Chain A
Amino acid sequence: MSETNSSYSGFWQQGQRRGILGWLLSTDHKRIGIMYLCCVTTMFIVGACLGLALRLELIAPGPTVMSAQTYNATFTVHGVIMIFLFIIPSIPASFGNLLMPIMIGARDVSFPKVNLISWYCYIIGAVLAILSIFTGTGAPDTGWTFYVPFSTQTTTNIDLAVMAAFMLGFSSILTGLNFLTTIHRLRAKGMTWGRLPLFVWTLYATAWVQVLATPMIGITLLLIVFERVFGAGLFDAARGGDPILYQHMFWIYSHPAVYIMILPGMGVISEVIPVFARKPLFGYWAMALSSLAIAFAGSLVWGHHMFASGMSDMAILIFSFLTFIVAIPSAIKVFNWVSTLYKGSIQLAPPMLYALSFIFLFSIGGLGGLVLGAAASDIHLTDTMFVVGHFHYVMFGGTGFAFFAALHYWLPKFFGRMYNHKRAVIAWALMFVGFNFTYMPMQVLGVMGMPRRYYDYLPQFTTLNQVSTVGSWVMALGLLVMFVNLWKGIRSGTPVGPNPWGGATLEWQIPSPPPIENFGEEDPVVTHGPYDFKGVVADEY
């Protein structure tokens, strides 16, 4: 076997072309996944630095390190980068591309060239987003939602930022339809729907949302450009338009997009927990169907973003009710993870620590979602720091920690080397503590009445803001330790065999790193479910 050979390096070496073109023109899903991984991680680091700058500005009342206009631009760019360039593509585009074809026993995705085009759309979007900061008459300052009328009137460089989001939407659509086709058409023999790993199920649900909802943001963003370039006034109340309609069209995509962000994260957790509890996942079908239920119900709740901006009482009631409905499948997931842990033989490896903290942080964020979904408390909390704390708990504590869990769980597979566990645990501890010190004070500040996106605040909010800022430093330190540890691990860690964790899904049955066509000449035949650990033994490393 070639994997026993010390010079073996799988898809890193084999390829049609040599050198950089072997990557830039590659249609191999693993290479495209690695390219996505590099890009989203870079974007995450850029976005995190902007976030740290924002927290630094808020360490004391009054001007601290930047001007008010710079502050507006910073939170806008932080939001645009984190939402469109990091969270939405993070897990589906990087780990989905890396793993989904392997997990279903396929050689590649259905449309490998479309996959590469999708990556180029992402790159064009990233370049446009970054250009929008440095060109024109200033960085965008509207917030990532580009709300009209301000976005049609401000003189800053909105056009480029909006076109960037449009391209990223296109990238997302192409990835989604590629995944849907692949999951429907390319499953290996014996890989029935009931044997799909849950990560694949969540990618499947996510892909439907990507395909169904994203075109709406596409047309809405094009309309902003139309308004700005031609002065059309379709969203201008003075000229027959309707600004509230913009908010509807924006959130028809952007609320389901929240589930594009969180569902793949839930899929990662559903993979990690059974492996490190050495138990089959509790309630397989409940988990699979709840993914679809979240995608479906999540597409009906956009109106809860507009409780305070003018809607009929009946509409508020309906959207509030539908918002509560989403909590049911989400809770099913949390309870099933906890049930899987019950009487499990739990091994606190780094991926497991991230997965457990995911459950904790996501639950706090999710319950905060109910507080905001209830119309009465939402009216009090709209546009306060509570909202900022809430969505960071869900998006960063949820998706972000799931992304880190995925990094720690699957990087040994794709690089064939293991990072240092002790340092990984230290990094996790710093991040977990820092995280709660950063975002919990925000929720308290919001309840106390501090508005979000404000440059300055009243003196009574000082202490909690200081705690939050110091927390952000602890978290940044944790991130630094984590990235350095992972980097050192993939450069010079201990080599690992095919199955360092003892997983039962298909990716653990092929060499680390995987060869170019995943399974060689013979397509695999699947004979048991993804969480059937009988006889599965973890490799020593």
Chain B
Amino acid sequence: MSIEHRDDTGARFGMWLFLYTEVILFSGLFLLYAMALAKFPNDFSNASHRLNIYFGTVNTLVLLTSSLSIAMAVTALQRGRTKLTLILCGTTVFLGIVFLINKYFEWSAEIGHGIYPGSHHLAEQAPGVAAFFNLYFFTLGLHGLHVVIGGTLITVVAIMTAKGKVTSERYTLLENTALYWHLVDLIWIFLFPLYYLIL
């Protein structure tokens, strides 16, 4: 109580460990993807062609830009420019919301075509097609959940910055949040080619 506990290096260390667990969480899904792809290469290719590549491309651009803006927010805070930090955090959250809106339209279109987990339409398809779309909805759904969590975290940290609790002297919280957002971006960089591009 008497002496303040503060260890920025420790906080970063802990965050990197946590990010590692997130990578492992998604790695289970990559494992399933690899197994199913090896089993049904043709079905996977057919299913992949039914995804709308434009939605995926726009979302990739949006998410990469948001990664840039949050990285700039950290630098801005380190230089003590609080207002610019808040604007850049706001930009990142805005881009995250654009990503989710885009995802909403993409999924609506697919669900409109009868493509969703457990649908009759999918049940009639080849097993590989069903496996592809089930994995697609689960993996991208989990990723979308991480976008929501990341956006919430950035909002909270931005409020703390505005209140002067996160400053140029102690910016580790914003830095760690930015790391989380970069992870969300990084996972998308793997998901986009796997589901939209390479097949």
Q: List chain A positions with a Cβ less than 8 A from chain B.
A: 16, 107-108, 110-112, 114, 173, 177-178, 180-182, 184-186, 211-216, 218-220, 222-223, 226, 230-234, 238-242, 245, 249, 516-517, 521
Contacts and interface: CB of A to CB of B under 8 A. Distances in A.
A216 B14 CA distance: 19
B17 A517 contact: no
Contacts of A214: 21
Contact of B117 (A173, A186, A215, A226): A226
Contacts of B118: 230-232
Most chain-B Cβ atoms within 10 A of its Cβ — which of A114, A186, A234, A249? A234
Given A186-B10, A216-B28, A240 B130 contact: yes
Nearest to A112: B5
Interface residues of A: mostly helix, strand, loop or mixed?
A: helix
Contacts of A178: 14
A249 B25 CA distance: 11
Contact of A517 (B2, B20, B123): B2
A502 B130 CA distance: 65
Given A233-B130, A234-B134, A234-B135, A521 B2 contact: yes
Contacts of A184: 10, 13
Given A223-B32, A241-B131, 10 more contacts: A108-B5, A173-B21, A177-B17, A177-B21, A211-B21, A232-B118, A233-B130, A234-B32, A239-B123, A245-B35
A230 B126 CA distance: 18
B1 A223 contact: no
Interface of chain B: mostly helix, strand, loop or mixed: helix
Nearest to B15: A177
Contacts of B27: 215-216
A249 B14 contact: no
Given A223-B138, A226-B117, A234-B134, A180 B17 contact: yes
Residue in A16, A185, A232 with the greatest tally of chain B CB atoms within 10 Å: A232
Contacts of B25: 215-216, 218-219
A430 to B, nearest CB: 42
Interface string B1-25: 1110101011101100110111011
A178 B28 CA distance: 24
A60 to B, nearest CB: 44
Given A173-B21, A219-B26, A186 B31 contact: no
Nearest to B129: A240
A316 B127 CA distance: 29
B107 to A, nearest CB: 14
